[in-house]
Amino acid sequence: MNRTDTRRRRNRYTRGMTPVIALLMLSLSAGCTESNTNQPTTAQQSPPQETPSTSSPQSGKTKVVTTFLPMYIFTKAVAGSAADVEILVPPGTEVHEYQSTPNNVKAIATANVLVKNGLGLEEFLDNTIKNAQNPKLSVINASKGIQPLNEISPVEKTGKKEEEHDHEHAEGNPHVWLDPVLAKQQVANIRDGLIAADSANKASYEANAAAYIKQLDSLNSEFQQTLQKNPNCTFITFHDAFPYLAKRYNLKQVAVVEIPEDQLAPADIQNAVNAVKKYKVKALFSEPGVDNKLLSSLSNDLKLTLRSLNSLETGNTDPQHYFKAMRDNLQTLETACK
């Protein structure tokens, strides 16, 4: 993968939206990329119980392709056994820099429905859809009607000045699925899109969506009740994935530190530490599977425990996995924010 390109793309959603305070340019792609390349042994990384890409076109069911894990999970929850659901970006593969495959084009060419997160996340999609030449395809934008967040946290950068790649693209931060309330809206959008494409199964889609939304309501209550005990907990991440969650539950994501994949000079690390110190943060969050020495040294120097928050961009494909991962996140937040 082209490294510069990768960096540019990542920066589009971490950087373009911020009133950059940036002293340090530290741009390791820890946030997204590493959690996937390290192939760790956490529960989230366990193999799917089913192979989502092998549904039979002979089943006569509506064929739905979804882009990446949260879209697969929500769509599978709504579809149940009424439609065949596939995933384009295999769990364990990075979505932000994903390059589509010929099989992805084939999958879309033979699909009835495609479900995407939208908000600029699936950059590979436009060309892939074009190449698939499927005029009957209906596309569900799961983020339809959701007001994206644009102004979020400052991005702390370390190291030398990098060329700016700020595009004026203003689709906002795409990580809406990590807020259970916005996840309900995504599920409802998927439900409505499936009903429009396959009205014969309307009753199933409605019942399945209602059950899943009820679970999301419970999850939301748990987050509210638990996190209201420690309001305004400040934290720093290495992947700008949690602004919606933070906004919903009165947490404060005060900065996103970008860390380079290149070797850092000790002075760069010191700069990063100093930049982060001014925020007086309570918590430092990495992601499952990310094991980076720089993050560890940052956490040592700041005397903060480095904990993992799951962005659900990869992991188990069972629809119930969303709740497990989010409850793990809640427990991590509760511990870190005490």
Report, in Å, the least distance between residue 239 CB and Zn ion: 6
Give one DSSP letter per residue of 172-212, joined into a string. ----GGGSHHHHHHHHHHHHHHHHHH-GGGHHHHHHHHHHH
Please give the Cα distance from 134 to 155 (Å, whole number). Answer: 40
Cβ proximity to Zn ion: between 205 and 285 the closer is 285
Task: Provide CB contacts within 8 A for 150, sequence distance 6+.
Answer: 17, 170, 172, 173
| Count of residues in contact with Zn ion, rule CB under 5 A | 1
Report, in Å, the least distance between residue 124 CB and Zn ion: 14
Please give the Cα distance from 304 to 284 (Å, whole number). Answer: 7
Report, in Å, the least distance between residue 10 CB and Zn ion: 8
82, 61 Cβ separation under 8 angstroms: yes
Cβ proximity to Zn ion: between 12 and 248 the closer is 12
Burial (0-12, 13-18, 19+ Cβ within 10 Å), 270:
middle
* Angle between the N-to-C axes of helices 321-337 and 69-79, in degrees from 0 to 180, rounded to the nearest 10: 130
Pick from 241, 269, 312, 325: which binds Zn ion (CB under 5 A)? 241
Please give the Cα distance from 242 to 179 (Å, whole number). Answer: 8
Region from 20-28, 63-71, 107-115, 240-248 binding Zn ion, contact rule CB under 5 A? 240-248
Helix (H) or strand (E) holding 302, with range, is: helix 293-302
Region from 132-140, 226-234, 237-245, 279-287 binding Zn ion, contact rule CB under 5 A? 237-245
Please report whether residue 312 would count as binding Zn ion according to CB under 5 A. no
Report, in Å, the least distance between residue 287 CB and Zn ion: 9
Half-sphere exposure of 64 (CA within 13 A, CB side): 31
Region from 107-115, 157-165, 235-243, 294-302 binding Zn ion, contact rule CB under 5 A? 235-243
Cβ proximity to Zn ion: between 180 and 193 the closer is 180
Region from 86-94, 97-105, 195-203, 238-246 binding Zn ion, contact rule CB under 5 A? 238-246
Report, in Å, the least distance between residue 256 CB and Zn ion: 11
Region from 135-143, 145-153, 241-249, 321-329 binding Zn ion, contact rule CB under 5 A? 241-249
Length of the chain, please? Answer: 338
Report, in Å, the least distance between residue 63 CB and Zn ion: 27
Tokens representing residue 231 in the block = 């309001």
Cβ proximity to Zn ion: between 68 and 279 the closer is 68
Chain residues binding Zn ion by CB under 5 A are 241
